Amino acid sequence: MSAMGGTMEQYQRILVTSCKGGVGKSTVSANLANALIKRGKRVLLVDMDLGNRSLDIMLGFEDSALFDVCDVAAGRASAERALLCSEGREGMFFCPAPYLFDGDLTAEGLNSALLAMEAYCAPDYTILDTSGGADCSVQLSAECAKRAIIVTTPAPTAVRAAEKSGDLLVGHGVEDLMLVVSGMETDPRNAGEHYGVNEMIDRTSVRIVGIVPRDAKLALLGERGLLCGENKRIKAISERAFDNIAARLDGEQVPLLYKVRGIRNRKKLLMSGRGSR
């Protein structure tokens, strides 16, 4: 129990992670948060990539990030001063990670910081974007959240890392694991040595909540500090995929590839992969 009152069970906290870097974890975190606020939800997005932050750049806050989650945990800044918001993203509240991390953060401190920020912005969801690996940011976040999204690409190395991520999270007591496949080839003929969706589910033993198609526009948006749908000239085909994930998190029975453009032979895409040949 924190001085602010309340417990973490009051809030829908979800950590986003992978034991492998470069799978699109932060891209998923940011665009999922955006998809949720479009549904009228309030979202607290916390960058937990301690000492290697990037979400501030992806969200366009590179020059305005003065305080971070460690400052709130240590009492150096209030939740109100640390949280960043922007016009056009009503309902999204962002807390950066520290640019330099000295290791001075405990699970108790993190939970207190989260409770303070949640008390201030009253989110429907709190998303913790952890680092790519099995370092302390994952362990700390796992102490404060009982739901997790594991992000993987269809590449065999990434799927193996997703398996490891699942084992680590279960070991840390995370109860509800979900899988998001990022960078899925839209044409199964070009899948090469990648795994198919069914194979990824079998190998990770984690239920899938979303498939994000390979989309060069995502990186272009991120470089400009923008999210899906925020630039009319840069239309990302993956926008609908994030909307689907948000709907499924909200309890709706939405097909994985519902209205996702550019998919060739959906059934074959789900069944294709190394094991189907």
**pLDDT tens digit sequence for 67-117:** 999 999 999 999 999 999 999 999 999 999 999 898 889 999 999 999 999
Q: What is the chain's pLDDT, residue by residue, as a tens digit (277 residues)?
A: 333 345 555 569 999 999 888 899 999 999 999 999 999 999 999 999 998 899 999 999 999 999 999 999 999 999 999 999 999 999 999 999 999 898 889 999 999 999 999 999 999 999 999 987 667 899 999 999 999 999 999 999 999 999 999 999 999 999 899 999 999 887 767 766 788 888 888 889 999 999 999 999 999 999 999 999 999 999 999 999 999 999 999 999 998 888 888 776 666 666 655 545 4
Q: Which fold has domain 10-276?
A: Rossmann fold (3.40.50)
- Torsions phi, psi of 150, nearest 5? -100, 125
Q: What is the pTM of this model?
A: 0.92
Check residue 5 and give its pLDDT: 42
User: Rounded to whole angstroms, how far apart are CA atoms 163 and 183?
Assistant: 18
User: Quick one: DSSP state of residue 185?
Assistant: -
Question: What is the amino acid identity at position 220?
Answer: L
Task: Give the pLDDT confidence of 139-156 residue by residue, as tens digits.
Answer: 999 999 999 999 999 999
Check residue 7 and give its pLDDT: 55
For 126-138, give the DSSP string.
EEEEEEESSSHHH
